[in-house]
Amino acid sequence: MTGQGSIAYRLLHEDDIDDVIELLSEHYVTRESTSKCLSMTKEEILEYSDEIAREAIPQGLSLGAFDDVTNKLCGVTFGEYDLYKKPRIKDDNRTPIKIQYLQRLYEMFESISRVELGITNLLLADVLVVSPQYSNRGIGTQLMIRQADLLADLGFNYLLSFITSERALAIHTRLGSKCIKKVDIRTYRDPCTGVAAFKHADLKDNCIQVMCTYLQSLQSIKSKA
């Protein structure tokens, strides 16, 4: 039966990109609150999944969870350098407006850490997904723990996540992450169009929470796992 075998975890590389795009388009963009509320078409879902996977995976800090029996990818967490220069095309008419809304929302969140909070030497982990037939087995939790472990070994101090799901919030909180800022999505306006694009997003207290994990306290994180 699917999802009952053991799970293997490893870093993702460029050969995994097609599988990551498939997982994201089937189980992330369709379920994660800020993308779900935009009611994207199938093409837009694929385009957005393609874009975020191709941005993150080549950076070499994203982890995948694989079913040991089928070798199928069943979960991912993305790690992205804060100062990575993203190949984004601004004001490009070919990028669907809903994808632009998402790009600009998360660009705003990425700048909060540096500009507003003055945190440097950090890694962003803003995509976490586990396919539904594998949920509630601790895979999301393991992905986060293993990523934090890896990043601490690489010398990063902070892991920052922009949380839009109660389940992800439960995982982060249980592992010691602290909420350092909340943004009420009802008051957020897209900076280019002024549209309140995410006002119908299903979010706890209508907020996206910026959660920060201090990686040097990792030993206490591990002991709680």
Ligand X SMILES: CC(C)(COP(=O)(O)OP(=O)(O)OC[C@H]1O[C@@H](n2cnc3c(N)ncnc32)[C@H](O)[C@@H]1OP(=O)(O)O)[C@@H](O)C(=O)NCCC(=O)NCCS
Question: Contact with ligand X (CB under 6 A): which of 99, 122, 125, 139?
Answer: 139
User: Is residue 225 a contact residue for ligand X (CB under 6 A)?
Assistant: no
CB of 54 to ligand X, least distance (A): 19
135 binds ligand X (CB under 6 A): yes
Tokens 């306290």 locate to: 217
**Interface characters, 171-200, with ligand X (x: CB under 6 A):** x-----------------------------
Looking at the DSSP bridge assignments, the partners of residue 65 are 9, 75
From the CB of 112, what's the least distance to ligand X, in Å?
15
List the one residue out of 59, 87, 17, 220 whose CA is nearest residue 154: 59
* Min separation Cβ 102 and ligand X, Å: 13
Provide the 3-class DSSP secondary structure of residue 35.
helix
Within 8 A by CB and 6+ apart from 194, the residues are: none
Half-sphere exposure of residue 88, counting CA atoms within 13 Å on the CB side? Answer: 17
Least Cβ distance, residue 194 to ligand X (angstroms) = 26
Whichever of 137 and 181 has its CB closer to ligand X, that residue is 137
**Of 90 and 178, which CB lies nearer to ligand X in the complex structure?**
178
What distance in Å separates the CA atoms of residue 20 and residue 57, rounded to the nearest whole number? 9
Task: Count Cβ atoms below 10 Å from residue 86 Cβ, excluding itself.
Answer: 13
Taking the least distance from each CB to ligand X, the nearer of 62 and 165 is 165
CA-to-CA distance for 80 and 48, rounded, in angstroms? 16
**Cβ distance 147 to 125 under 8 Å?**
yes
96 binds ligand X, rule: CB under 6 A: no
- CA pair distance 144, 141, nearest whole angstrom: 5
Backbone angles phi, psi at 8, to 5 degrees: -110, 145
> Considering only residues 53, 130, 197, 210, which one is a binding residue for ligand X as defined by CB under 6 A?
130
Task: Write the binding mask 8 to 47 for ligand X: x where contact by CB under 6 A, - elsewhere.
Answer: --------------------x--xx---------------
Taking the complex as a whole, the smallest distance from the CB of residue 116 to ligand X amounts, in Å, to: 20
The yes or no reply on residue 128 touching ligand X (CB under 6 A) is yes
Site of interaction with ligand X (CB under 6 A): 28, 31-32, 128-130, 135-141, 163-168, 170-171
